[in-house]
A = this chain, B = another copy of it.
Amino acid sequence: MDPHWQRRVRESFLRQGLMQHLGAELVAVRAGECEIRVRYREELTQQHGYFHAGVTSAIADSASGYAAYSQMPPDHSVLTVEYKINLVAPAAGDMLIARARVVRSGKTLKVCAADVFAVKDGAENLCATSLSTIMAMAGKSDAPSSTEGASAQR
């Protein structure tokens, strides 16, 4: 296994422009597990003033992807194939925390589960739960090549 996987995960997270734009932080990464949180801001809301499902989903997806990525060799890249998320309660609170874990780790495909909690007055309430399929792409760098970067922007 790759001894530098924690650094790889942290560097990849910092390259995700969306995570910075949402103000999300990578709280913890362990083998097969990842935790991401984001504080409340008006820029993150849906029409009632709660966190938008897009924010809940974005941190659940990144946490699931990095939980899976932590178990991949260094020359692999991580790709979300699909996910399903149930929004079980309004995401109302000061902060959202997504906790993801690998449920089944195949060579090519990994299945992850994530729970998202809304923190309000210090108490955590489950507001969403997801199930994801993540793919390991062998021989593809996790960073954009200069060519790829240009083409991605186009």
Q: Which residues of A contact B (CB under 8 A)?
A: 12-13, 15-22, 40-50, 52-55, 57-59, 61-62, 77, 79-90, 92-94, 103-104, 106, 108-109, 111, 113, 120-121, 126, 129-131, 133, 135, 142-144, 148-149, 151-154
The DSSP consensus for interface residues of chain A is mixed
Q: Tell me how far the C-beta of A59 lies from the nearest C-beta in chain B, rounded to whole angstroms.
A: 8
Counting every copy of the chain, the complex holds 4
Partner of A18, one of B55, B87, B126, B152: B55
Contact A54 B53 (CB under 8 A): no
Q: List 28 A-B contacts (CB under 8 A).
A: A15-B46, A16-B46, A17-B42, A18-B44, A18-B45, A21-B44, A40-B153, A45-B152, A47-B144, A48-B143, A49-B152, A54-B59, A55-B58, A57-B58, A80-B87, A82-B87, A82-B133, A83-B85, A84-B131, A86-B103, A86-B104, A88-B103, A89-B104, A92-B151, A92-B154, A104-B126, A108-B108, A121-B154
